[in-house]
Structure 1
Amino acid sequence: MKLFKQKIFTYSLTAALLVMGVGCKKYLDINTDPTKATKVEPKLLFGYAITAYSETRCSGDGWLPLAFMSQAIATGGSFGWGQINDYDISTYSLGNVWKGYYNTSGNNLQLAIKTALSSTPVNNNAIAQCKIVLAELVYEATTLYGDVPYSEAWNANFPYPHYDKQKDVLENVIKLLDEAVAQFDESQPNLIIKDYDLFYNGDIAKWKKLATSLKFRTLMLMVDADPSKAAAIGTLLAKPEAMIASAAEAWKFPYGKDAARNNPKYRLINELNGGENNMFLANKAVIDYMLPKNDPRIPQYFEPGADGQYRGVGTDQEADENDSYISSYLQRADAPDLLCSYQEILFLQAEAYARGLGVTKDLAKAQTLYKQALTTAMTFYEADPADIQTYMSSQLADLTTIADPVAEIHLQQWIDLMDRPLEGFTQWRRSGPDGQEVPALTVPPQAPSGGLIRRWGFAPDEISANINIPKPAPLYSDKMWFDL
């Protein structure tokens, strides 16, 4: 379906259903409307779900408030965006992101699964694809909101779904991923979503690797609160080839240079400021760790100030013309939405060996994976190859000799996730106990009392509509189950 790929952002589910049409004999059915489809193919629901999902992640509802509040980027005060990093999250963001997880993307994936189950033969491959994306939606929802509906969600028998505990939600994420891997049927390659699969074009092997990678990431999130998960981590580490094992296997949503396919971050700048980025600035919490080592990603992440130098802005700090903006490279029209990267998995593997999670602690092995992860991260952002080589030969930290190798890995995880603020926010919270997270962040001066932000509040519409919403509602500074 080339039309979908060409018009990815103007795609209308309603229009797609009408285009499908019906057989001529239906015109003879007195009580049947010949202009309406009686059945929707799973691929249409899947395509709509993943497009809406990525749109929200990269939009002013998702990317923008998360980037500011997590201190991945800086507002620059009145010189840049203004005071939006003080935890006053828009009700539109709270609601639209929630609706994306449950109403828009989540519900369409559930409908796709139901339709694939009722087909003859059952389309197990499409079901598996939908379960993997659904698992990611649920994972993101719980890391952002805490306890969320799952066991009673998307079920008409439960108009007021109860909120499952975060540990149970994450256990179900793992269950969904395991089910998906087992459900793929390579004997029926034609029964898979392919033309609407903008991730892997129906490649079952890559989908399986993705599911295993997401399981590994989920276990790494859970292990501090539930040390028993170390055994499962060790099992996965024994077969790293079963996870994403190259940059080509990374999970990403593609965007393009034609207007209909532009990355929403690019469109945000175009629509709000005529294409000029003078709103999003480098945060000292990121760039100050990169400058001393002349990190090759600096010119990829940031634009130099008026004086030709790179300089970051502190939280709630007024910027000037010599401070650095976020680069046009990161916010280019065809920048992909990176959902799970090869370097992300390598960093987590390095961390597991450095901590001895399910394996014997091995700093030499961790060092090899850490170097590979950092090289992959720099290469992904198209840093200069010669500069990468110089960094590796003169600036690469030696995990076998430094005082805190795990903190060093966490720091590079944070830097790598700068342009992925939801993942960066989750990584920061899991990087250490209260007061020992990497990096050390400070509360914005104009934020309400209560400490650093740990979660989003529930969507206003959900609060008013669901009688089973947790009471009292958690505060923005309340820790989640995984956040020790």
Structure 2
Amino acid sequence: MKNYKYILLFATLYLGAACTDLVDDVNDDLTELSADVIPPEKFLTGAQLANVLAQVGHANRISGLYTGQLTGFAAQYKNIYDYTLTSEETESTWNRIYQGVVPQTRLIISKLEGENALLHGICQVMEAHVIGTAATLFGDIPYEEIFIEGLEDPKFDEQATVLANVQLLLDEAIDNLNVAATGVISEDIYYNGDKQKWLEAAWSLKARYYMQTKEYSSAYSAAQNGISTASNNMNFIPIGDSSITGSKNTYFTLLNGSRAGDIGTQGSYFSGLLDPSGTTSRNHAKTDETARFEYMTIDQTDGVSNRGVASEFEPQRMVTYEETMLALAEAGARTVDFNTGLGHLNTYRQFLNTGAFLNVHFNARPYTYSDYIEADFQAGGLENADNIAQDRALLREIIEERYVSGFMTYMPFDDARRLRSASESDIAVSIPFNTSTATVHPERLVYPDNEINTNANIPSPLPDLYTVTDINQ
């Protein structure tokens, strides 16, 4: 890893100019400017846009291809779908993390000189978010020694250690946000400087990483302070108008360009679960997924055909109420009792039953999410036709809901790997293989070429796509 100097995307000064950077296949337009003369908050927008691409860009699509949520039809995405993932494919995501987000947020903090606890806390949450994502995707990553002056080859820290340090960083962020004055930060394209929303996002991230490390009691405690309403979701909200190139939903941008026809949901296991007429449909007397199925369909033919999650100005979710509620449901069922888990699941279903998660194109389409009762999970019940233990039947439904509600986030990929062990096989989503010859599922993303070629501390032997990460052993 190169010890990068602090760099500015043009977006850190002018959002409109950076909007064209929302396509992963385009090289960054970077320029070196003197950081001394620029107010610290001016670095925030560029860092947030880089984080958007780390969270809902190319790597996220790869995770969807490897969890039955997306289908690769042609070219690059067909190769990836068939489990041919080269180290070139992860280069852009690695650069977003180690060039676009972390150095910028640390530069902001260094320029604050101990003042502005709100902006300080926001930057810490952002670093925790992107480094946590990196650790869960790649396994061991450089962290403790990054950006040390004169150190060209930072060591790779163990995945579990990085995630523990991310939890500590989130604790510090929460402390800063708690004492921060209420304010507005116009450069903050996620929350406009709303400290309560940032606090809730920090707690939801703590719950996320505790879920991934199977610390379920801690996850349950953290999630209780997490995102309390869908209006507090951390989203990327596209801006501009149809005549302006860039700053659009990343799937729209992809399919409206050179990748039309390459990737979508048609034929995916995910679509089969939602499709009321599908052979693997999860629809029944208490659940009608018609509207969600149509809203969450991604038409691979071109960008403009999409009116749901991949439409031009549709927000893209990064840290959410949905994830938080389902962490409460799963962790509550595991560590408190059946009724606690069921209660949280029903609270979430009541939210779904408002249709608030749909946009105007689909909110009049049919949907039903009635409350479950205990009998639904007893042997022979609506959600337990195969007569497994009642508690396990509830967990199975919660995890399937996480799989569906986590569409276009990393949650399905994280859960698939977390629940791969034989002891969890009765409740894990049964994701099919993409090829007839595959016998194991992908367990991580591979390290990028540049890191392999420039960092003498790269792990040896080099882990491949199927090497299980430490937290999922």
Determine what percentage of the aligned residue pairs are the same residue.
20
Maintained 8 Å contact 1:282/1:326: no
Distance 1:165 1:351, change over 3 A: same
Report the Cα distance in structure 1 between the residues aligned to 2:62 and 2:375, rounded to whole angstroms: 32
1:208 to 179, 194, 199: 199
Maintained 8 Å contact 1:286/1:415: yes
Residue deviations 1:207-243 (CA, integer Å, cap 9, x gap):
11111111111111112xxxxx344345436xx2x22
Q: CA deviation at 1:480?
A: 1.2
1:438 to 418, 428, 432: 428
Distance 1:8 1:335, change over 3 A: farther
Report the Cα distance in structure 1 between the residues aligned to 2:46 and 2:171, rounded to whole angstroms: 24
Match of 2:4 in 1: none
Report the Cα distance in structure 2 between the residues aligned to 1:416 and 1:331, rounded to whole angstroms: 15
Report the Cα distance in structure 1 between the residues aligned to 2:237 and 2:298, rounded to whole angstroms: 24
Report the Cα distance in structure 2 between the residues aligned to 1:157 and 1:295, rounded to whole angstroms: 56
Q: Report 1:148-297 matches (<5 A).
A: 148-184=141-177, 186=179, 188-189=181-182, 194-223=185-214, 229-236=215-222, 240=224, 242-256=225-239, 258=241, 259=244, 260-272=246-258, 279-290=263-274, 291=276, 292=281, 293=283, 294-296=288-290, 297=292
Larger radius of gyration: 1
TM-score, normalising length from structure 1?
Answer: 0.78
Would you say 1:479 and 2:462 are equivalent positions?
no
Q: CA deviation at 1:443?
A: 3.1
Equivalent position amino acid for 2:344 in 1: L
Maintained 8 Å contact 1:301/1:327: no
Q: CA deviation at 1:342?
A: 0.6
SS in 2 for 1:338: strand
Q: CA deviation at 1:279?
A: 4.3
Match of 2:405 in 1: 416
SS in 1 for 2:289: coil
SS in 2 for 1:339: strand
Residue deviations 1:428-467 (CA, integer Å, cap 9, x gap):
21234158273212333277x6621000111111011111
Distance 1:186 1:369, change over 3 A: same
SS in 2 for 1:343: helix
Give ranges in structure 1 of 5+ residues lacking alignment.
18-35, 224-228, 305-318
Would you say 1:330 and 2:309 are equivalent positions?
yes
Report the Cα distance in structure 2 between the residues aligned to 1:157 and 1:3, rounded to whole angstroms: 29
Task: Give the number of aligned pairs.
Answer: 424
Q: Report 1:367-378 matches (<5 A).
A: 367-377=342-352
Match of 1:299 in 2: 294
Residue deviations 1:349-378 (CA, integer Å, cap 9, x gap):
01112112xxx31x2232221122234355
Report the Cα distance in structure 2 between the residues aligned to 1:111 and 1:327, rounded to whole angstroms: 39
Q: CA deviation at 1:75?
A: 2.3
Match of 1:27 in 2: none
Give ranges in structure 2 of 5+ residues lacking alignment.
1-10, 22-27
Distance 1:44 1:3, change over 3 A: closer
Residue deviations 1:226-264 (CA, integer Å, cap 9, x gap):
xxx344345436xx2x22111111111210352342122
1:89 to 74, 85, 91: 85
TM-score, normalising length from structure 2?
Answer: 0.80
Q: CA deviation at 1:150?
A: 1.1
Maintained 8 Å contact 1:285/1:439: no
Q: CA deviation at 1:386?
A: 7.3
Match of 1:71 in 2: 68
Q: CA deviation at 1:288?
A: 2.2
Distance 1:483 1:397, change over 3 A: farther
Equivalent position amino acid for 1:379 in 2: A
Maintained 8 Å contact 1:69/1:86: no
Would you say 1:9 and 2:3 are equivalent positions?
no
Report the Cα distance in structure 1 between the residues aligned to 2:102 and 2:267, rounded to whole angstroms: 33
Distance 1:395 1:269, change over 3 A: farther
Equivalent position amino acid for 1:44 in 2: K
Report the Cα distance in structure 2 between the residues aligned to 1:205 and 1:343, rounded to whole angstroms: 18
Match of 2:356 in 1: 379
